[in-house]
Structure 1
């Protein structure tokens, strides 16, 4: 029988991200090209993902989070190790039973189903434990993103740029004069030197809020979705 043991990789990744310092999340800027050729006025290039990751607010949050949420991270790591030990034991028994002569296939399938269920429930449990840490990072990112548009426009106006391109859109550049990323980082640092690390009670990341809003809109657009159910039993005569 094929092994069903799968490490709780998703939780391990989340834990690694939650506990890692800022450098693990920093996207380094590309090496500056040699300045040569004619620089076209009005053009600029900026990597907004790298901008966000290199702001003071984001870097400070990455440094503070492992300290602020240490108890949560420790709890998730301890629980993850315990779950992994349980899963390994179940998997070892499954493999031993499967290798035995005359193995009962129905019993093996039940064991495999139990192992699968434990993996899924363990993943869900760890995700729930580590959720405050994940939400903290998303909250910091949203605070920076809220300043991004104004910062980009301010730098474009200051540098007389009318067309801003992403690095992916540029095939080749022989001049660093177009790169506006650091200027945008500096502008965000000016207006948002630090961000609030912990979101308020009940806060959810933008992706979840948007998904809820979309679901509500779809339900509202479905005929009869919002109609109240008729009570059971005889209805009063409306005459």
Structure 2
């Protein structure tokens, strides 16, 4: 059942763009035992996710405001440099200093982006923490919905495996209801030292690789002979 999470992880960055779930009429004839569910839509429409998206700008207002202020300051710093570069380029495209100007602009811009990313890192970490809490309950939500509707096969259109499915097969709302029951809300602020699942897996793999590496052979001390 964990394989159902793969399409969700691939579409995690677009969760907020998923449109609300819309109920459509049910057809008279369907094949029982088959269901279709959009996992990204379930997550984006879950109470836990929507509540966290509302709370996050308030909880992390200081970091967001600081990042926005720094972005504006960097933009103001770059503006005259870009203006001078454009003017010099129009006046003399072969000016040797153009390359130096472009390099300086690029360096300031890249350093600014890195700085802003550091400022909003807690915000990104919070979103990853909330999403992981939802993912941890998503598998159980799918199984609960499948049992209640007597479904043995579930397809996810976001994986590209389904070209068309009648509305009668859509159990996205059912899975959403189960998820909201299992996880009414999520913790917004990660505990100290928490890292996303992908990072933990990478760390575990690195630790396993180090543990499996053969130890360096030890040299025996030279034998001594008595006289």
- TM bin, normalised by shorter chain, reads 0.7 to 0.9
Q: 1:173 aligns with which of 165, 168, 173?
A: 165
Distance 1:148 1:98, change over 3 A: same
Distance 1:33 1:57, change over 3 A: closer
Contact 1:26 1:54 in 2 (8 A): no
Distance 1:213 1:117, change over 3 A: farther
Segments of 5+ residues of structure 1 without an aligned counterpart are 1-23
Q: 2:152 aligns with which of 156, 162, 165?
A: 162
Distance 1:101 1:178, change over 3 A: closer
Give the TM-score normalised by the residue count of structure 1: 0.76
Q: Determine the C-alpha separation between the residues in 1 that align with 2:68 and 2:216.
A: 47
Partner of 1:135: 125
Q: Determine the C-alpha separation between the residues in 2 that align with 1:181 and 1:205.
A: 26
**Which secondary structure state, in structure 1, belongs to the residue aligned with residue 26 of structure 2?**
coil
**Which secondary structure state, in structure 2, belongs to the residue aligned with residue 169 of structure 1?**
coil
The answer on 1:96 being equivalent to 2:79 is: no
Cα deviation code 1:66-92 (max 9, x no counterpart):
111111100000000111111222222
Pairing of 1:17-56 with structure 2 (within 5 A): 25=16, 27-29=18-20, 32-56=23-47
Partner of 2:140: 150
**Which secondary structure state, in structure 2, belongs to the residue aligned with residue 145 of structure 1?**
helix
Q: 1:115 aligns with which of 105, 108, 111?
A: 105
Segments of 5+ residues of structure 2 without an aligned counterpart are 1-14
Give the TM-score normalised by the residue count of structure 2: 0.79
Shift of 1:201: 1.1
Q: Determine the C-alpha separation between the residues in 1 that align with 2:92 and 2:194.
A: 55
Q: Determine the C-alpha separation between the residues in 1 that align with 2:155 and 2:172.
A: 11
Distance 1:99 1:171, change over 3 A: closer
CA RMSD of aligned residues (A): 2.8
Shift of 1:37: 4.7
Cα deviation code 1:163-184 (max 9, x no counterpart):
001124333334x221111111
Tell me the matched-pair count: 207
Q: Determine the C-alpha separation between the residues in 1 that align with 2:86 and 2:27.
A: 65
Cα deviation code 1:117-158 (max 9, x no counterpart):
111111111000000011101100000000011111111111
Partner of 1:182: 173
Distance 1:173 1:134, change over 3 A: same
